[in-house]
Each structure stands twice: as structure tokens, then as C-alpha cells.
Chain A
Amino acid sequence: MTLARAAAFLVAVAGAAAAAAPERARACAACSLGDPTLAAFGTERPYEGRLRFTFEGRYREDAVGEARVDRVALEELRAELGAAWAPADDLFLQLALPVLFRHLREVNLAETSLLATGDLELRARWQLTRGLAATAGVSLPTAPTARRADGSALPRELQPGSGSVDPSLGVAGTLDDYPLSLTGSAWLTAPTGDAGLSARLSVAAQAQLAPALALRVAVDGRVDGKSTEHGVTERDSGGAIAFIGADVVISPATDLVLTIGGRAPVWNALAGWHDEGVVMFVGVAYDID
């Protein structure tokens, strides 16, 4: 029964996404880091019927291209609304829809700002043992093609979606020795469009300083394959980057968790001319059941 309900849920999501698919494929312009399932699911084991709503606001900076030649500087504010539900004691499903504000500055001082819905994402976490879980997800191409007033498409970097179905697989583990815990995760995305393979690795150590307060120190890394555009390899794509940062996790009330954190790049081996800046985020998770 549980599997049937989960299957119906997946069919509903896939059908809705297919109806909203964009006209053409684009290379993925969004660079992310960390385990995307962590905010929604936490590290604790789910229980059947658990329903959690999440909000995550994230700011990041990205600059791609050679200075004075073809560099574009991007600022992004991403607000993601999510709902997570556990159909069984070992399975958590999440649906998330991002809303993006992007500001792009080109080498000739042209500036464009966009507010748009992004790609709908479906994620799942299957608890294998007490401290080990398998994760999976799929990003569906529901974001629109953003256009100027004259009908021409905005630059690729401003497009709010990847334009392709992007499935992901991952694994997450936790070692718990209260008040300390260590979490590690790996998340591999294999886009079906122009973007290359992307692997995100994350290790976080958390100390529970008080019943309602925890401090987390994290190292996040990402390894990207080369992307293509119209079949041609993009010069400024691929490579690896690592961030280090910290989060403050507060639970001011029962069933409510606030997370405030930031990451700064400490090692940049991205190919070509590609620099990523600081990432700051705030997350809110509220359990209904």
C-alpha cells in the first residue's frame, strides 16, 4: 500500500513536469554544493507519516569567463520551498520548488535581473541502517525559458533551469556520539542535457552545545565534468572546488529547526576562468506530524 501511494506520487510529479517541459535544452548554469537532502530530511531516522515543510534561502556568487573578454558575473538568491513526507519508517520523499532571483553583469556593463521559478525537484532518502542512508533525486525541467521583451532568450547563465531531466544518486552516513556527530555524504548528478556529471561531497562535524543549539563545521566539495553547448565543449566548465564553513542550528520550539550558515571557497581547481564566491544560507524546517 505504501509503495502504491509512493508510486502514485511519483507519477503525479512526472506527469505535471512533463506538461511543463521547456522548449529546448540548455547547459546547467546553477552550481550547488552540499547534500540537498540534508535540510529536508535531517540526519535522523524518519517515521511513517512524518510531514515536514522546509524553506531554504541561499545566496551565491559566480563569475565565468575571462576578464575584459567574455566574463559574466552572477549573483543568485534562491528560495526553495519544500514538502517532505515519509510513507514508511525508512523512506522519506521530498518535493521542492525553487524561486530564483538572478542578476547578471556582462563584460560591457550590460545588466539583467530575473525573477523566475526554477526546476521542480523530487528527492528521496532510504534509511538502510541506523547511520547509513541511500539518497536519490531528480530535477525536472519545469523552469520556463526566460525571454526579453522582444522575445529573445536571455543569456544561458540567467536561465532558471537546466532544461533537462537530471537524476541524482547519493549516500549519506552519520556517526553519532552525543553531543558530537559526524556526517558525510556524496551526491552524484548525471544530467541528460548539456551539463556534465557533477559529484558533491560533504563532511560535517556537529556539536550539540545545548538542547536547542548546535554548531556545525563543514567542508563541501564539488567535482564537475565538462559541459557542452550546441555540441561544443565549454571552455570554462568542469574541474573541482572546495568550500569550508559553519552552520548554527537552533530549535526555538518543538518541531521547528532554524539553520544559518555560510561557506567560503578555499580551493579552486575549476577549469578555465571560473570563480565562485561565498555562499550564505538560512533554512527553516517545520514538522507537522
Chain B
Amino acid sequence: MVALAALALGAAPTRCAVVLDDAPGAEVRVALAAPAWPNADAPDDLGLVTLPSGAEVLVERALLSVASVELEPCATALRERATPRERAAGVAYAHTEGGDPLRLDAGVVDWLLRRAPTALGTLRPPPDTYCRVILRVDGAVAGTRAMPADVDFAGKTLVIDGFWRPVGGAWRPFHVAETAAFDLDAPLDGVVLGATTRALAVNVASDPSAWFEGVDLDAKGAGRAVLERVRASLSIGLEAP
């Protein structure tokens, strides 16, 4: 009895955990490059663009819904893969949501407030040969990461608010709200992730000075034109550290 009680008192506080080995596997870090706002003197929460025509655009809000960043294995087109969400057929399970190692749910990106590179997340893919990285812009839905609370962004892909002033004109407000979805991809040229190449960095960038080039923000269809220019300004950079 005494021996057992002593063992109990002695053993219970014996709490020991030693990590003997901790080797990271293949990782693809996805980051948003700091937007190159042409007028660096503008306050951090505003963006100022002077167009070649001399018109000026003051941006107060610039949100883009990046539904996902995905890696495509060379052997399997992504469209042929059922995502865990689809397999789950609407039933929520732990270890399932966001559990696809080839797909990162990036969420709503605020281009205005991000004056420094921002990590969007890390993919931990299985060893394979990968041929493309795909950025999917799609309408935001309930549960989308970083969904703004002060604006109705549901179903939208792009919202830009601000003021603009044509040459010789007065400042006037403008509002862009678009729902069109699009993909942007970049070749990976058969990057082999696995035993040899363990890390890859994917940097998503955009040039705000190109967003409004040649667009009359007072004209009908200006929003779609801005969306097209935002799309054209997006780029995906790859880096193997």
C-alpha cells in the first residue's frame, strides 16, 4: 500500500515530453507582395494613383476575393480532383475543412491596408511533380476568410471605393462592385516537391497604378473595365528558397 501510494505521488507529476525529431516536409508558402502604390506619401489607409492622363484616383477601399491558391500535379488536372469539401457532401467534419493539401483558401485580400508582404498561408503537399499554380478569384461566400464586416461583400469578387478627379475636374466618389470570377495561373515547369525540393514560395502581386488606366470612372461599365485591369495587373511569382 505504501509503495503504491508513493508510486502514485511520484509518478503523476512526472510529466516529460521530448521532441526527438521534427523534420518539416514539403511546404509551399503563399504570400501577398506589398502593393506598389505609386504615391508612397499617401496615408497608409489610402492609395493615390495619378494616371498618365493626369487624372487622379484616391482609393479608400480595395478588396479582392481570392477563393483559393491551388497546386496542380502534372499527372492530375485539378478539375478532375474532388475536393474534401465535395466528398463530404455538405457534412462538416474536423480534419476535412481546409484539409486539402493542394488548396489554400486565401480569403478576402485588402490591397489597401497591406503595405508589407502578408502571408496568406502554407500548403503542405504530398511529394509529386507539379505543373501549375492557380489563383482563383471567385465571389465571396459566408465563411470566407477575412470577410469585411462593414461592407456587403457577399457574392462579390472586387470592391473598390474612393474618389477620382479628371483633369481640370472636381473630386467625385466612385464605387466598383463586380461579381465576375476568373483564374490566373503560372507554370511550375515540373517542380518536384518531395525528398529533394522541400520549399517553394508563391508571391501574388498586383500593380495598382494599372487598375484605372484608360478608364472613365463615370462611364457605364467602368467597374468591369477596372476588374479587367486588376486581373491583368495580377502576377504570380515563384521562388525556391
* Chain A interfacial positions (CB closer than 8 Å to B): 5, 8-9, 12-13, 16-17, 19-20, 51, 65-66, 68-70, 83, 85, 87, 93, 95, 97, 103, 106-117, 120, 140, 142-149, 154, 160, 228-230, 232-236
Task: List 24 A-B pairs, Cβ < 8 Å.
Answer: A8-B1, A9-B8, A17-B12, A66-B84, A70-B84, A95-B4, A95-B8, A95-B11, A97-B14, A103-B21, A107-B101, A109-B25, A110-B25, A114-B20, A116-B16, A120-B12, A143-B17, A145-B17, A146-B17, A148-B19, A229-B95, A234-B95, A235-B88, A235-B93
- Does any Cβ of A come within 8 Å of B52's Cβ? no
Nearest B residue to A6 by beta-carbon distance? B1
Give the Cβ gap from B24 to chain A, nearest Cβ, in Å.
Answer: 5
A12 engages B21 (CB within 8 Å)? no
A51 partner residues in chain B, CB cutoff 8 A:
3
A109 engages B84 (CB within 8 Å)? no
Give the Cβ gap from A179 to chain B, nearest Cβ, in Å.
Answer: 34
Interface residue tally for chain B (C-beta within 8 Å): 41
The secondary structure that dominates the A interface is: mixed
| Cα(A69)–Cα(B8), bound, Å | 42
| Cα(A250)–Cα(B22), bound, Å | 40
Closest 10 CB pairs of A and B: A16-B12, A110-B25, A108-B25, A235-B93, A229-B94, A116-B17, A109-B25, A108-B124, A113-B21, A146-B17
Q: Most A CB atoms within 10 A — which of B1, B21, B84, B99? A: B1
Give the Cβ gap from B126 to chain A, nearest Cβ, in Å.
Answer: 5
Which residues of chain B in 86-116 are interfacial with respect to chain A, using CB atoms and an 8 Å cutoff?
A: 88, 92-96, 99-101
B16 partner residues in chain A, CB cutoff 8 A:
115-117, 144
- Does any Cβ of A come within 8 Å of B162's Cβ? no
Nearest A residue to B73 by beta-carbon distance? A68
| Cα(A140)–Cα(B17), bound, Å | 17
The secondary structure that dominates the B interface is: loop
B100 partner residues in chain A, CB cutoff 8 A:
69-70
| Cα(A148)–Cα(B20), bound, Å | 10
A107 engages B124 (CB within 8 Å)? yes
B94 partner residues in chain A, CB cutoff 8 A:
228-230, 232-235
- Does any Cβ of A come within 8 Å of B23's Cβ? yes
Give the Cβ gap from B127 to chain A, nearest Cβ, in Å.
Answer: 6
A13 engages B17 (CB within 8 Å)? no
- Does any Cβ of A come within 8 Å of B170's Cβ? no
A85 engages B99 (CB within 8 Å)? no
| Cα(A68)–Cα(B1), bound, Å | 52
B9 engages A144 (CB within 8 Å)? no
Give the Cβ gap from A5 to chain B, nearest Cβ, in Å.
Answer: 5
A12 partner residues in chain B, CB cutoff 8 A:
5, 8-9
Contact (A70, B101) CB under 8 Å given A5-B1, A8-B5, A108-B124: yes
B25 engages A117 (CB within 8 Å)? no
A109 partner residues in chain B, CB cutoff 8 A:
25-26, 126-127, 194-195
B93 partner residues in chain A, CB cutoff 8 A:
232-235
A115 engages B95 (CB within 8 Å)? no
| Cα(A148)–Cα(B15), bound, Å | 16
Nearest B residue to A81 by beta-carbon distance? B11
B7 partner residues in chain A, CB cutoff 8 A:
83, 95
| Cα(A140)–Cα(B84), bound, Å | 35
Q: Say which residue of A87, A115, A117 sits within 8 Å of B20 (CB atoms).
A: A115
B12 partner residues in chain A, CB cutoff 8 A:
13, 16-17, 19-20, 120, 140, 142
Q: A70-B101, A112-B19, A114-B18 are in contact. List 19 more A-B contacts (CB 8 A).
A: A8-B1, A13-B8, A17-B12, A66-B84, A69-B126, A70-B84, A85-B1, A95-B11, A108-B25, A110-B24, A114-B19, A115-B16, A117-B17, A142-B11, A144-B15, A147-B19, A228-B94, A230-B94, A234-B95
